Structure 1
Amino acid sequence: MLTPEQYTNELFEKDEVLERVKLSLADKGIRDISVEPAYGKLLTMLVRLSRAKNVLEIGVLGGYSGICLARGLDRDGKLVSLELKEEFAELAQSHLDEAGYGHQVEYMTGPALDSLEILKQQGRKFDFYFIDADKENYPNYLEYAISLANPGAVIVADNLLLRGRTLNEEKNGPAVLAMRKFNETIARDERLISTILPSYDGLALAIVK
Structure 2
Amino acid sequence: MNPLWKQVDEYYSDKLHAMDPVMASVLKANNEAGLPSIDVSPLQGKQLYLLAKLKGAKNILEIGTLGGFSTIWLARALPEDGRLVTLEFSEKHAAVAHENLRRAGVDQKVDILVGPALDTLPKLHDKGFSDFDFVFIDADKRNNPGYLQWSLDLVISGAVIVGDNVIRNGRVVEENSEDEGIKGIREFADLLAADTRIESTAVQTVGSKGYDGFVLAVVQK
| TM-score normalised by structure 1 residue count | 0.92
CA contact (8 A) 2:55 2:160 kept: yes
Q: Which secondary structure state, in structure 2, belongs to the residue aligned with residue 199 of structure 1?
A: strand
Q: Which has the higher contact order (CA 8 A, sep 6+)?
A: 2
Does the C-alpha gap of structure 1 residues 68 and 173 become closer, same or farther in structure 2, counting only changes over 3 Å? same
Q: Does 1:144 align with 2:150?
A: yes
> Kindly tell me: are residues 23 and 196 of structure 1, through their superposed partners in 2, closer, same or farther at Cα, counting changes over 3 Å?
same
Equivalent residue for 2:33?
A: 28
Q: In the alignment, is residue 157 of structure 1 matched against residue 163 of structure 2?
A: yes
Q: Would the alpha carbon gap of residues 39 and 187 (structure 1) be closer, same or farther in structure 2, given more than 3 Å must change?
A: farther
Deviation of residue 35 (structure 1)? Answer: 1.2
Letter in structure 2 aligned against 1:31: P
Check if 1:191 corresponds to 2:192: no
- Structure 1 residue 125 and structure 2 residue 131: aligned? yes
| Equivalent position SS for 2:205 | coil
From 71, 74, 88, the counterpart of 1:69: 74
1:205 aligns with 2:211: no
Structure 1 runs (4+) greater than 6 angstroms displaced: none
Letter in 1 for 2:200: S
> In the alignment, what sits opposite 2:209?
none
Matches of 2:171 and 2:21, distance apart in 1: 33
2:12 is matched with 11
Q: Quick one: distance in 1 between partners of 2:5 and 2:195?
A: 30
Structure 1 unaligned segments of length 5 or more: list them: none
Distance 1:141 1:102 in 2: 24
Provide the rounded CA distance (Å) in 2 between the counterparts of 1:6 and 1:189. 39
Deviation at 1:173, TM superposition (A): 1.9
Relative to structure 1, is the Cα distance of residues 26 and 2 closer, same or farther in structure 2, using a 3 angstrom cutoff? closer
The letter of the residue matching 1:180 is R
**CA 1:42–1:188 in structure 2 vs 1: closer, same or farther (change >3 Å)?**
farther
Helix, strand or coil for the counterpart of 2:48? Answer: helix
Q: Does 1:84 align with 2:85?
A: no
Q: 1:167 offset after TM fit, Å?
A: 3.0
Q: How far, CA to CA, are the matches of 2:140 and 2:184 in structure 1?
A: 10
Partner Cα distance (2:122, 2:140) in 1? 17
Task: State the shift of 1:177 in Å.
Answer: 0.9
User: Does 30-39 or 72-81 show the bigger shift?
Assistant: 30-39
* Structure 2, unaligned runs of 5 or more: 207-211
Q: Is the 8 A contact 1:86 1:109 kept in 2?
A: yes
Root-mean-square deviation (CA), in Å?
1.9
SS for the counterpart of 1:96 is helix
**Which letter does structure 2 place at the counterpart of 1:29?**
G
Aligned equivalents of 2:7 and 2:156: distance in 1? 36
Q: CA deviation at 1:38?
A: 1.7
TM-score (norm 2): 0.87
Deviation at 1:159, TM superposition (A): 0.6
Alignment match, 1:52: 57
Identity %: 41
Shift of the 157–5 alpha-carbon distance from structure 1 to 2, 3 Å rule, reads farther
Counterparts of 1:15 and 1:117, CA distance in 2: 37
